[in-house]
Amino acid sequence: NRSTRARIIIMNMKTCFTFLVCAMSIAAINATTHAPIPLQNKLDLSIYYSARSTDSIKFILTKLKPLYCKIQKYVELNLVPFGKGYSTNIGFFCQNGHIECRANTIHNCVFDKLSRNSTAHMEYLSCALEHVDNTIHVEEKCAGHIGLSIDEIQSCATSREGYLLMLEAEIQTKDQTHGPRFVPSYVFDEFYNERDQRLASTDFESTLCEKLIKDHGFSNVCSKINNVLRVNEVC
């Protein structure tokens, strides 16, 4: 009788242990399924552009803008306006002249005032590049639309504050892009290479999907067949 009772107790303990393990496994699966996207798992995407570069304008308005609302949950976007320029003792030299330097300075001032708000960055940038030939309109409508004071932006752009922001953009651009040789330049996860630059220039969406799937495990964001985004948000 004692041996029978012992066997029953052991069987009950095994059953309870098995149930406990299963319950813990299910809880872990549910927690993983509904967990928010950790910030450290996002793809770091930096775009080094210039406010008057035709290639930059075309890329941002036709490639980046249409995709941004679909990728913003998976990407940390960093926009750096400088281009192929350099600093001098009296200011900056820009590839497309003084007007480009001024536009880049304004963009840097706006982004600085907006802090790390990438969505507001894109709203301003889209507006500014759509009205690139109307400087007054850009400053009045585009900056005002996102809640910034026009006087505040103009004060920044014409003072030491704007100069220092441009210096920072120059240092970051030259440090991260090896030049830059190309404008715009694309840097994924703070690492620039010619392969990524070439592929992103040819097919930005496919290159972005490759990074999201292979490097960050976001397998449901893009189609593995043709590397296009399949997120349902409409931009």
- Mean pLDDT within 79-105: 94
- Mean pLDDT within 35-52: 81
Res 40: pLDDT: 43
Q: Does residue 21 or residue 163 have the better pLDDT? A: 163
- Mean pLDDT within 77-98: 95
Is the separation of the CB atoms in 206 and 228 below 8 Å? yes
**Mean of per-residue pLDDT scores for the chain:** 85
Q: Domains, the chain, ranges and CATH?
A: 42-189 (3.40.30.10)
- Mean pLDDT within 18-38: 49
Q: Which of 24-28, 118-122, 138-142 has the highest mean pLDDT?
A: 118-122
Q: Which residues contact 77 (CB under 8 A, 6 or more apart)?
A: 45, 46, 47, 68, 118, 121, 122
Res 44: pLDDT: 97
Confidence check: pLDDT of 145 > 90: no
Res 28: pLDDT: 52
pLDDT in tens, 48-84: 999 999 999 999 999 999 999 899 999 999 999 999 9
Confidence check: pLDDT of 142 > 70: yes
| AA letter at 217 | G
Confidence check: pLDDT of 176 > 70: yes
Res 66: pLDDT: 93
- Mean pLDDT within 161-169: 98
Confidence check: pLDDT of 136 > 80: no
Is residue 12 packed enough to be buried (19+ CB in 10 Å), middle (13-18) or exposed (0-12)?
exposed
Res 224: pLDDT: 75
Confidence of residue 89 (pLDDT cuts 50, 70, 90): confident
Q: Contacts by 178-184 with C-beta closer than 8 Å and gap 24+? A: 179/84, 180/48, 180/83, 180/84, 183/48, 183/49, 183/50, 183/53, 183/55, 183/56, 183/83, 183/84, 183/95, 184/47, 184/48, 184/49, 184/50, 184/53, 184/55, 184/56, 184/59, 184/60
The count of residues in the chain is: 235
Confidence of residue 235 (pLDDT cuts 50, 70, 90): low
Q: State what percent of residues in the chain have pLDDT above 70.
A: 80
End-to-end CA distance of the chain: 74
Confidence of residue 98 (pLDDT cuts 50, 70, 90): very high
Res 161: pLDDT: 98
Q: Are strands 43-49 and 75-81 parallel, antiparallel or unpaired?
A: parallel
